[in-house]
Amino acid sequence: MRTHITNIYGQSPSSTAMIAQNMVTEVAKSIGFNEIGIYSYPIHTDTPQEIRKRIDGMLAGVSNHDIVVVQLPSWNGIEFDELLINKLLGYSDIKIVVLIHDVVPLMFENNYYLMQRTIDLYNKAESIIVPSDEMLKTLKHAGLVVNSIAVQHVWDHVTNFDPKQPIFEPLINFAGSAVRFPFVQNWHSQTKLQVFSRSTISSLNEQVSYRGWLPDDDLLRQLTSGFGLVWSENIDNQSERAYSQRNISYKLSTYLAAGLPVIVNKGISNQSFITENNLGMIASSLSEIDQLIAHTTEEQYQDMANHVRQVGYLIRQGYFTKKVLIDTIHQLLTC
């Protein structure tokens, strides 16, 4: 018996989807998993037979009785994901675990028609790893019937970087697309906003500065003061705010790995995790940020930073991912 995990390649170096799957795979490999590489490509250029041949090559190291963790979506389309899962089901006594990063029908309104196919795909697994308790409720309401469930709660951000104690100042750091998150263009706060993004869009507020996209280690070194911001707004075809109540944010883990306390929108899926561990502050609207920071003392900030340092160590070492994978394998083999 061997354990395997899928991992995507071929996307942009700044693709959060690929970065997250690569990170999970590296953690899994550290505890004995074998990697199954999946390259992102336009599958509609292939016939179903050609796709099956590609999948045969990907699964060359898989045998009967193995355990395979499939990170979904593969971003090659649900047709590819269905063919992959169905191929795995052809192995004798195979145990399939679906590790959900995103649920495409919930991300994009015009893809909701794929919800039933997505649930049917999940139901073929023996075990599911979901991002949050709220996502689990949503999927069960849509028809998920898998009994073996584990909850990720927070992503890791594995790195050798060791942050220094952050500096308290009225500064907001935001790592994300200025196009996908339009509040960047309409920043009205007096608090400075530092944006790390490939997109540079003019802002009416001189408090906004663009730092460009940075490789991971460089970004972590720049996050040395103020707060990290996790914020979602609804945009065309994407109900980002509702989705943030179900998924978990990779940028949250980036800030915590860098040692920064955070400010997050109320209702975020891991709000209780943030408040119970004193990792930052919750805001109902961006208009509250100036007052939140104005009423925060140096002592309160450093107390949050000390708690962040403890949780950040777990995140940088991959302990949340190790735990959810080990718990899942243990449940599969002992029930």
Residue 106 assigned ligand-binding role: no
Residue 250 assigned ligand-binding role: yes
**DSSP 8-state class, residue 213:** -
Coil vs helix vs strand at 49: helix
Cβ(89)–Cβ(120) under 8 Å? no
Coil vs helix vs strand at 34: strand
Distance CA 263, CA 306 (A): 16
Residue of 150, 143, 90 whose CA lies nearest to 121: 143
Cβ(59)–Cβ(88) under 8 Å? yes
Residue 45 assigned ligand-binding role: no
Residue 249 assigned ligand-binding role: yes
Distance CA 2, CA 89 (A): 16
283 sits in which H/E element: strand 280-283
Cβ(51)–Cβ(20) under 8 Å? no
Distance (Å) of CA 77 to CA 44, 93, 126: 9, 27, 22
Residue 309 assigned ligand-binding role: no
**Distance of alpha carbon 4 from its chain centroid, rounded?**
20
Distance CA 258, CA 216 (A): 10
Residue 30 assigned ligand-binding role: no
HSE-up (13 A, CA, CB side) for residue 242: 12
> Binding site for UDP, residues?
16, 180, 249-254
> Binding site, residues?
16, 180, 249-254
